Every structure is written in C-alpha cells, then in structure tokens.
Amino acid sequence: ASQSVTYATLLVAVDDAHGTVPLAIDEVLNTGFTSAASASLAVTTNYPNELLLALVGLETGAVNISSFTDTLTWTNVTTIATQGGDCEIWYALAPTVLSNHTSKANFSASVTSGNFMIVGISGIDLNSGSGSSAIGAFATANNAASSTPSVSVTTTRNNSWVFGVGNSSNTNKLTSGVGSGQSFLHSHNNSTTSSCFMTTSSAATPTSGTSVTMSSSSTTVTDWNMAAVEILPSLGHGLSSSGAGN
C-alpha cells in the first residue's frame, strides 16, 4: 500500500525588506507504490505562486505518466526510459495557496513499483506566469553497464538549485545514498529487483555556468536512468538553507 510522508521544511528564507520569499523548499511529499496504475499526493502550500516539482521513478517495465488528474496544469520537463522503467520530471504552478489539494499521476499501464514525489518551491522566477520561467537547464543520462548513476547540468543563473531522480530496473542499490554536495530526499525499492531515488543539491550554486552533478553513492549499479533539472530563483533573490530532511 502507498504511504504519503510529509518531510520537514528543507529551506527557509524570508525577505522582510521586500515582503517576499526567496527561493525555498516549502514542502516535500512522497508516496511509494507497488502494482499501481496511478499515484496521488495531497498538497498543502504556504504561499501563492509556488512551483510544484514532481520527481517520478518508475522502476520496471515500459510504463510512463500518461496524464495528471488535477485542476493544475502539469508540464513535462524531461523523461528518460532507455534502460527500463523510467525517470520523469514535471512541474505545475500553484497560483493560490493549496490545502490538501490532490494531484494524481496516471500511468500508461500498471507499474510494478515506483515512487512519486512533489516538492513545493516558493520564490521562483514568475516572469512567464505559468512556471516555465522557473525551469532552467535539464539533462538525462543512462547506462546498462555497472557504474555510478550520475547526471550533470550546467547552471544558467546565480543561486539556482538542482534536483535529480534516478532509477534502476535491475538492482536495489539506489537506496544506499547520494554523492557529495547533495541532500538525499528519498528512495524506494522493490525487494532485490529494482529501485529509485530522489536527490537535491545541498546548497545553492552561487555562480551561473557551474556544472552540478546529481549522483548515487553506489558505484556498481546496472541498467540505470537519471534526470536532473535546475530551478531558477526570482531575479535579485538568493537562497538560504536550513538543512535537509530525510
């Protein structure tokens, strides 16, 4: 059975002088599942105009997210399914404060196991009015051979933040942790056969043009996919961190 977990606030920063909230993680929600055709989370936010970032790891099979059942509009950033299962990153803008709002991801077929995470982020770039201006660089990577799952993006704005998701259709080793410079968000495994994990950079990247790597700490993972995305702060705002949750 699926279980939702609300994580402690990861990043907190308030700009008292301007009455605005710089880029900050407001909430992390997560549910793992087995033999499921969909996954749902109840989202509560603290501020209007938060970006909801969905990190999804489907561990086995040729299955992907086919649609969302939601009053919010979800847009795919990137998907990779080269090595079985898949990793997907989606976003939606929540223009008003949400209270137990249901966001449901529908899969193209029943999936053996996987994990659905939504991160609520405030203080984003709102120039587009749709959330798209908060999406910076993104990238994917994969390998069938035994290796360290990793993917890198080059930042496009000062003080941006990077998130990543990885899966393996052939090993449970992605539950062991993440590489240096990252904060582990969550992992899920299906016994000994497959696994996925979610991670984020442990601090803002102060300078545009910096290569930031999201990776597992395991060096012997086979049949893996990874995806990562950069989230852009509003122009003129930095980002503060108070430490990551589990």
Higher pLDDT, 238 or 68: 68
Q: pLDDT by residue (tens digit) across 48-107?
A: 999 999 999 988 778 899 999 999 999 999 999 999 889 999 999 999 999 999 999 999
Question: What is the pLDDT averaged over residues 147-167?
Answer: 95
Judge whether residue 219 has pLDDT over 70.
yes
The answer to whether 112 touches 62, Cβ cutoff 8 Å, is no
How many Cβ atoms are within 10 Å of 17's Cβ, its own excluded?
A: 6
Q: What is the mean pLDDT of the chain?
A: 86
Per-residue pLDDT at 9: 38
| pLDDT at residue 18 greater than cutoff 80 | no
The strand ranges marked E within the chain are 3-6, 24-43, 50-58, 65-69, 75-80, 86-94, 101-122, 135-143, 150-154, 161-168, 182-190, 194-201, 211-215, 224-231
Q: What is the pLDDT of residue 199?
A: 93
In contact, 122 and 191? CB cutoff 8 Å: no
User: Per-residue pLDDT for 191 more than 70?
Assistant: no
C-alpha dihedral sign at 190, 173, 139, 200 = positive
> What global pTM score does this model have?
0.88
Share of the chain above pLDDT 70, in %: 86
Q: Among 62-66, 87-91, 224-228, 235-239, whose mean pLDDT is lowest?
A: 235-239
Measured CA distances, 5 to 22, 222, 231 (Å): 25, 29, 23
pLDDT of 237 reads: 52
21 falls in which pLDDT band (50, 70, 90)? low
Q: Is the pLDDT of residue 16 over 90?
A: no
Residue 245, pLDDT > 60, answer no
Report whether pLDDT(11) > 60.
no
| 139/201 Cα distance (integer angstroms) | 15
What whole-number distance in Å separates Cα of residue 33 and Cα of residue 66? 17
For residue 178, what pLDDT is reported? 92
Q: Do residues 40 and 52 touch, judged by C-beta distance below 8 A?
A: no
Gap between the Cα atoms of 242 and 100, Å rounded: 25
Average pLDDT on 136-141 reads: 98
**Backbone Cα Rg of the chain:** 17
Average pLDDT over residues 202-208: 91
What residue type is assigned to position 219 of the chain? Answer: T
HEC profile for 66-109?
EEEECCCCCEEEEEECCCCCEEEEEEEEECCCCCCEEEEEEEEE
Decide which of 170 and 69 is more confident.
69
* Backbone φ and ψ of 175, nearest 5°: -90, 0
pLDDT greater than 80 at residue 173:
no
Inter-CA distances, 10 with 1, 121, 122, 136, Å: 27, 10, 12, 21
> Tokens 């999406």 appear where?
135
